[in-house]
Amino acid sequence: MTTSNDKTGSLENESRRTVLGVAGATGLALMLPTLARAQSGNSLKVGFVSPRTGPLGSFGEGDAYVLDLTRKSLANGITVAGKKYAVEILDRDTQSDPSRAGQLAKSLINTDKVDLMLTTSTPEVVNPVSDACEAASVPCLATVMPWEAWYFGRGAKPGQPSPFKWSYLFSFGVANFVKSYLSQWAAVPNNKKVAALLPNDADGNAIRAALLPELLKAGYTVVDGGPYETGTTDYSAQIAKFKDAGCEILLTFPIPPDFATFWRQAAQQGLARKMKVVQVAKTGLFASTIEVLGPLGYNISVAAYWHKNFPYKSALTGISGVQLADGYEKSSGKQWSQQLGASLSLLDAGFAALAASSDPKNKEAVAKALGTLHTVTMMGPVDFTKGPVPNVSATAMIGAQWVKAPSGSKFKYDYVITENAGDPSVPVSRKPVPYA
């Protein structure tokens, strides 16, 4: 199966030279339309867009490994409604740039003629890709971003019909965060005063509007540090505000470089040692972004959208979460990350939709299959017939914590499950401990 545009171009050029030598230019001109129709009719092209480099690059660290597993599993193609199709996955790196994400999606749509688009990891990637597909009438499936920032952030209105026909998302939302957070925080004695450090971006604005009111309803006092801009280098004002209020819980949704800057300053200015719970979304998800903090990373809490101990297998590859994590660590020498399971879940769900469609070359049929998709991925059940809103299937969040790795481990941190209110079938390994 073809794995890159360069290889595809090389094979096509070699084929063109061979045909020219046999049939001549005139014969080729007559043959090309027929060859193109035959090739497109018996093969499927699937776009896969994610951030592999740049500030969000930690999300895409394991994508090459996951894509390699998937390509091997699909080497003999897939059969839909009795017809066999070869499969080509065209993966693209957004370099963490929203404009580039949209451009890559348009290129995959207009030049590569993909039959299905898959995209993952943060609004900066998922939203522009979804918008490009919606505008071009190409089915798109996405994951890993708050669904409110995807649905309402792209123009949908509460209580009104969905404006989207082609784009779908299975991912966590505010209710999933709230359930996990409240479960974790209740297990650690604290004064219920929350320091909210939320950026002025799609994630931060959605969380500010939807999650903070839920914390107030639950009896927490919320001290909002105000929307800060990505790349901020001085957080002294926010730190002073949180200290003056006596906050013992930190809630934040930063990109990795911003959190590293903030948390080092928080330690220097005496805020870190006052915190009982340090709840870090986005940045807190991956070992690579925690390790740069050194000892400041120990006992950071996270709501995880996947963990290697989730009790679900990949439909495409047949492997378990532990097998996926262990295989990645052996192959890369790096610690496993939860995006491994999410990226494989995206591929599992995408190909489940293609298989469920009456005709995977018919974009209307594929979009319809997405809208009624009910399957189980490594992240858990996906069911677009239930909501919470059209085009969205909500997935669970599970409490986890970065703790010091046991003696003999080749890694500095261990990532342990601390609560399972969102999915009781997930095993809990230990209770959460205070940050300081």
| 340 CA to centre of own chain | 9
SS3 of residue 432 by DSSP: coil
Mean pLDDT by 10 residues, the chain (436 residues): 42 36 36 40 94 94 98 96 96 98 98 98 96 98 95 94 97 95 96 97 88 96 96 97 98 92 97 97 88 94 96 97 98 96 98 96 98 97 95 97 92 95 96 94
Q: Domain 5-173+309-394 belongs to what topology? A: Rossmann fold (3.40.50)
* pLDDT value of residue 33: 38
How many CB atoms are located within 10 Å of the residue 350 CB?
A: 29
Give me the sign of the Cα torsion angle 256, 108, 348, 1: negative
Round the CA-based radius of gyration of the chain to a whole number and report it. Answer: 23
* pLDDT value of residue 216: 97
How many CB atoms are located within 10 Å of the residue 399 CB?
A: 28
Contact between 184 and 419 (Cβ < 8 Å)? yes
* pLDDT value of residue 28: 36
* pLDDT value of residue 67: 98
Instruction: Point out which residues pair with 374 in neighbouring strands.
Output: 383
Q: For residue 295, give Cα distances in angstroms to 286, 291, 335, 413.
A: 15, 8, 17, 10
Enter the tokens of residue 138: 């190409």
Enter the tokens of residue 187: 């297990």
Regarding beta strands 83-93 and 43-50, do their DSSP bridges make them parallel or antiparallel, or are they unpaired?
parallel
What is the C-alpha to C-alpha distance for residues 282 and 59, in angstroms, rounded to an integer? 9
SS3 of residue 263 by DSSP: helix
DSSP line for 120-173: ESSHHHHHHHHHHHHHHT--EEEESS-HHHHHGGGT--TTS--S-SSEEEEE--
SS3 of residue 9 by DSSP: helix
* Domain segments of the chain as ranges: 5-173+309-394, 175-307+397-419
* pLDDT value of residue 203: 82
175-307+397-419: CATH class: alpha beta
What is the C-alpha to C-alpha distance for residues 103 and 100, in angstroms, rounded to an integer? 5
* pLDDT value of residue 199: 95
Helices (H), 170-201: 174-186
Domain pair 5-173+309-394 / 175-307+397-419, same fold:
yes
